[in-house]
């Protein structure tokens, strides 16, 4: 890399992350986090979700504000389109997680980013969710992420940023590996 | 280590549960060859003297090599002596064995890091109709049932076994996680020649920013073959081996693989590029450029558009699973508070956290080459100096 870390500012406080890693290595209980979202049905396929509190570092935590999300189905599904579809939220999650990772890793490696944007596309055969064909899965048959990155780095360094981001991404892991899901009724 | 201790006139004994070179005799598959070329598979004062310095030793040749070395240095080996416990006692240690106990002031653990194959917990749910083998149990394709084979793990062991079983005519699926791709020959020279000449193998553990991570890096995805070919994932694909992602879960007779295969291969290709860039830079800076072929790069690892994410064991015809998923050391007999919460021994370059206790032969113990035969000499020299100072009551520097 030709750029010294002192001049690079992608807005990520890498030192804080490094300190957190060191602190949590010796305090595994503090590293146990629990993230939450609350979802309320509105009408039809429209629901409204909020994200406010989470658990971590041994106690309840709160975001600065309550974040708010409307989800719905589009008109081609005979719905009202009050919000993005749930599967589009998953694509947003993946794009956000990988992009945040790219920024953090670039900061850590002393690479100045100028612009980063991604298109995230998930292919889906509706025969799955519509119960038409039991050999077709409900979810995506595949997801493709295409990044456009302008940075002070060689093409290989940029590829390495994107590869490392996937390696350490929570959402990438959630999507590419199985996760236990338990649904209860109170 | 024994040779160093003898040179320092330090009275010692070497305890071996079987015969000299036991694990080479009992825990290796038939066709295995070392990954390092013969000239490099050397011990101090005891190099290769045959007519194939660029070849790779077979298992019987390794057993013979180690056995001759032991005799030449007159190592005081007690064979067929299994250690049952090591505990602290009387300002030193008590080592209990099935042939009697020893009391000593210092102990050197040279049991290696590869005692227990790491088999993921989901393996327990497999139907008994599927034969599972770990590398120490695998000998040759002849011992396998007819039918398909799933090899889990794509480092040196996994790729070599996958290739051999594929050549036996069986269908082979290879589950690929993190792996370290490297060309066997680069610019006409063995990759190990470059690693040695450029000083990469001599890199010290205390010069590495994240040594814990470096110690967990898998072995090079290399094979020692007389043809000196590169057995990477592209070569396996060309042989008809089917690549899938890292094994993620087993349930209801279905094995699930991660969707991360493409990135695993991208990471490996990028890492290999960085290694070759470093080699090229060293070659240019040290006047080697004119003596070797020009720089070149291997083609990217090719992955099909949509690798399978699951296998139904019955429908896929897989009869055998081979777990090439790494090893962990066995310290069950080590009755000392020197293990960390992952069961690994706490040490600083081989000086363990209990005074007078040393360990050798672990990945990147003191140098990048520590786990290679060629790494034993320098590590033994350093650690025997520390041990000697300890015995003489001097505060040792590490």
pLDDT, tens digit, 9 for 90 and up, residues B340-382? 989 999 999 999 999 999 999 999 999 999 999 999 999 999 9
Best B210, B245, B259, B306 member to test A by mutation, with max A CBs in 10 Å, is B259
Determine contact, residues A81/A115, Cβ cutoff 8 Å.
Answer: no
Determine contact, residues A143/A94, Cβ cutoff 8 Å.
Answer: yes
Q: Say which of A141, A159, A166 has its CB closest to residue B260.
A: A166
Q: Say which of A159, A163, A175 has its CB closest to residue B259.
A: A175
Domain count, chain A: 1
Whether A172 is in a domain gets the answer yes
Q: Say which of B245, B249, B273 has its CB closest to residue A156.
A: B273
CATH number at A118 reads 3.30.300.20
Convert the pLDDT of each residue in A120-169 to its tens digit.
999 999 999 999 999 999 999 999 999 999 999 999 999 999 999 999 99
CB of A135 within 8 Å of a chain B CB? The answer is no
Determine contact, residues A148/A114, Cβ cutoff 8 Å.
Answer: no
Angle between helix axes A155-167 and B261-285 (nearest 10 degrees) is: 140
Rounded to the nearest integer, the mean pLDDT of chain B is: 96
pLDDT of residue A6: 58
B259 contacts A176? CB cut-off 8 A: yes
Judging contacts by C-beta atoms under 8 Å, the chain A residues touching residue B260 are 166, 172, 176-177
pLDDT of residue B364: 97
Whether A181 is in a domain gets the answer no
Structure pTM?
Answer: 0.94
Rounded to a whole number of angstroms, the distance between the first and last alpha carbons of chain A is: 55
Q: In a 3-state reduction of DSSP, which class is residue B165?
A: helix
* d(C-alpha B91, C-alpha B86), whole Å: 13
Whether A143 is in a domain gets the answer yes
Q: For residue B340, which of B351, B330, B353, B327 has the smallest C-alpha distance? A: B353
Best A24, A167, A177, A181 member to test B by mutation, with max B CBs in 10 Å, is A177
Chain B residue with Cα closest to A173:
B260
- B124: which DSSP letter? G
**Residue A4 in this model has a pLDDT that exceeds 90:** no
pLDDT of residue B28: 95
Which of the four pLDDT bands, split at 50, 70 and 90, describes residue B90?
A: confident
Determine contact, residues B172/B311, Cβ cutoff 8 Å.
Answer: no
Q: What is the DSSP string of B289-300?
A: GGGSPPP--PPP
- Alpha helix (H) residue ranges in B349-393: 373-391
CB of B245 within 8 Å of a chain A CB? The answer is yes
Whether A185 is in a domain gets the answer no
Q: Say which of B245, B263, B273 has its CB closest to residue A166.
A: B263
CB of A112 within 8 Å of a chain B CB? The answer is no
- Report the top-level CATH class of B117-326: alpha beta
Whether A105 is in a domain gets the answer yes
Judging contacts by C-beta atoms under 8 Å, the chain B residues touching residue A141 are 306
Whether A160 is in a domain gets the answer yes
Q: What Cα–Cα distance (Å) separates residue A55 from each residue in A13, A35, A101?
A: 22, 7, 22
Backbone angles phi, psi at B227, to 5 degrees: -80, -10
Convert the pLDDT of each residue in B258-278 to its tens digit.
999 999 999 999 999 999 999
pLDDT of residue B296: 97
Average pLDDT (B102-111) is 97
ipTM of the complex: 0.88
CB of B301 within 8 Å of a chain A CB? The answer is no
CB of B273 within 8 Å of a chain A CB? The answer is yes
Average pLDDT (B232-241) is 98
Judging contacts by C-beta atoms under 8 Å, the chain B residues touching residue A172 are 260, 263
Domain that holds residue A74: 9-176
- Alpha helix (H) residue ranges in chain B: 2-7, 22-26, 59-72, 156-167, 191-197, 211-215, 233-239, 261-285, 313-316, 373-391
Judging contacts by C-beta atoms under 8 Å, the chain A residues touching residue B274 are 156
Angle (CA) B198 B179 B322, round 5°: 130
Whether A107 is in a domain gets the answer yes
Chain A residue with Cα closest to B306:
A142
pLDDT of residue A3: 47
Convert the pLDDT of each residue in B291-323 to its tens digit.
999 999 999 999 999 999 999 998 999 999 999
**Residue A2 in this model has a pLDDT that exceeds 80:** no
Convert the pLDDT of each residue in A43-90 to its tens digit.
999 999 999 999 999 999 999 999 999 999 999 999 999 999 999 999
Domain ranges for chain B: 2-115+329-391, 117-326
**Residue B398 in this model has a pLDDT that exceeds 70:** no
* d(C-alpha B155, C-alpha B178), whole Å: 8
pLDDT of residue A149: 98
pLDDT of residue B43: 94
Convert the pLDDT of each residue in B316-349 to its tens digit.
999 999 999 999 999 999 999 999 989 999 999 9
Convert the pLDDT of each residue in A157-172 to its tens digit.
999 999 999 999 999 9
Q: For the domain covering B2-115+329-391, report its CATH number.
A: 3.50.50.60
Whether A2 is in a domain gets the answer no
């Amino acid at each position: 890399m030709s750029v010294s870390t002192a001049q690079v500012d992608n807005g990520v406080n890498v030192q804080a992350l490094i300190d957190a890693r060191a602190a949590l290595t010796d305090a595994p209980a503090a590293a146990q986090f629990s993230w939450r979202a609350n979802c309320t049905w509105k009408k039809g396929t429209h629901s409204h979700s909020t994200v406010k509190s989470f658990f971590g570092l041994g106690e309840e935590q709160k975001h600065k504000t309550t974040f708010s999300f409307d989800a719905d189905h589009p008109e081609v599904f005979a719905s009202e389109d009050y919000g993005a579809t749930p599967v589009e939220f998953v694509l947003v999650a993946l794009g956000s997680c990988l992009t945040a990772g790219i920024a953090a890793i670039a900061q850590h490696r002393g690479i100045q980013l100028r612009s980063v944007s991604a298109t995230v596309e998930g292919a889906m055969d509706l025969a799955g969710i519509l119960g038409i064909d039991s050999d077709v899965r409900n979810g995506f048959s595949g997801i493709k992420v295409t990044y456009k990155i302008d940075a002070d780095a060689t093409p290989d360094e940029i590829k390495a940023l994107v590869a490392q981001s996937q390696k350490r991404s929570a959402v990438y892991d959630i999507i590419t590996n199985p996760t236990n899901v338990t649904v209860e009724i109170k | 280590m024994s040779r160093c201790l003898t040179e320092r006139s330090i009275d010692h004994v070497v305890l071996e549960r079987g015969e000299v070179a036991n694990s080479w005799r009992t825990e290796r598959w038939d066709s295995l060859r070392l990954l390092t070329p013969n000239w490099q598979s050397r011990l101090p004062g005891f190099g290769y003297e045959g007519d194939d310095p660029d070849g790779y030793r077979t298992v019987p040749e390794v057993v013979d090599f180690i056995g001759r070395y032991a005799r030449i240095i007159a190592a005081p080996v007690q064979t067929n002596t299994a250690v049952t416990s090591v505990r602290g006692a009387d300002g030193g240690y008590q080592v209990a064995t099935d042939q009697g106990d020893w009391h000593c002031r210092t102990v050197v653990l040279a049991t290696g890091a590869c005692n227990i194959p790491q088999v993921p917990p989901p393996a327990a749910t497999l139907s008994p109709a599927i034969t599972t083998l770990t590398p120490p149990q695998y000998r040759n394709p002849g011992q396998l049932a007819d039918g398909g084979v799933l090899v889990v793990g794509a480092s040196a062991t996994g790729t070599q076994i996958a290739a051999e079983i594929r050549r036996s005519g069986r269908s082979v699926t290879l589950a690929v996680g993190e792996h370290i791709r490297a060309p066997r020959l680069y610019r006409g020279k063995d990759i190990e020649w470059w690693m040695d000449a450029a000083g990469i193998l001599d890199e010290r553990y205390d010069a590495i920013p994240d040594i814990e991570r470096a110690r967990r890096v898998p072995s090079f995805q290399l094979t020692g073959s007389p043809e000196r070919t590169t057995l990477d994932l592209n070569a396996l694909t060309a042989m008809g081996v089917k690549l899938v992602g890292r094994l993620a879960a087993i349930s209801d007779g279905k094995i699930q693989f991660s969707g991360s295969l493409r990135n695993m291969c991208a990471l490996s290709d990028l890492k290999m590029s960085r290694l070759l860039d470093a080699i090229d830079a060293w070659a240019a800076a040290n006047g080697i450029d004119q003596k070797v072929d020009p720089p070149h790069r291997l083609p990217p690892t090719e992955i099909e558009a949509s690798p399978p994410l699951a296998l139904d064991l019955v429908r896929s015809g897989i009869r055998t699973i081979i777990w090439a998923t790494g090893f962990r050391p066995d310290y069950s007999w080590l009755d000392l508070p020197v293990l960390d919460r992952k069961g690994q021994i706490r040490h600083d370059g081989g000086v363990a956290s209990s005074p007078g206790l040393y360990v050798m032969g672990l990945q990147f113990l003191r140098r990048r080459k520590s786990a290679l035969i060629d790494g034993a000499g320098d590590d033994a020299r350093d650690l025997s100096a520390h041990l000697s100072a300890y015995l003489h009551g001097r505060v040792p520097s590490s």
